[in-house]
Amino acid sequence: MPTKARRGPYICGIDAAMDVVSGKWKSLILWELHLHGVRRFAQLRRGLPGVSEKMLVQQLREMEEDDLVHREVFPEVPPRAEYTLTRHGTSLNEALSALGEWGAERIERIGAEKVVYAAG
């Protein structure tokens, strides 16, 4: 593996939480999986506007290592893989909701644009 280490020592709880949730797509992956329950790789890809395959794999693998998502691979052809939230992934997503609301207010406050994309 090239990068990503850490998992401590941590300065505080936020530090520890940020360690697993920072990464351009991780909170969005949590949200997608929360919304849909189960998602296949390509479905996630279509649900996240602008993500590259490499990044998606990478983030999912790290989240798997951090026990946030569960990955189930089916030995079929064409290949199939299903992703779901673990217990800890679910609770992390819940812990992020207050932050999401704060951010939504901020978007209104500063009048930022929102990304719009075709539904998948």
Chain residues binding its own copies by CB under 8 A are: 7-18, 20-22, 27-28, 31, 49, 88, 91-92, 94-107, 109-110, 112-115
* One of 16, 23, 36, 88 touching DNA (CB under 7 A): 23
Q: Judged by CB, which is closer to DNA: 71, or 106? A: 71
* One of 7, 10, 38, 52 touching DNA (CB under 7 A): 52
Which of its own copies, DNA, none binds 73 (CB below 5-8 Å, type-dependent)? DNA
Does 41 help bind DNA (rule: CB under 7 A)?
yes
- Which long-range contacts does 90-94 make (Cβ < 8 Å, 24+ apart)? 90/34, 92/17, 92/20, 92/21, 92/30, 92/68, 93/30, 93/31, 93/33, 93/34
Q: How many CB atoms lie within 10 A of CB 40?
A: 15
Residues 85 and 68: beta-carbon distance below 8 Å: yes
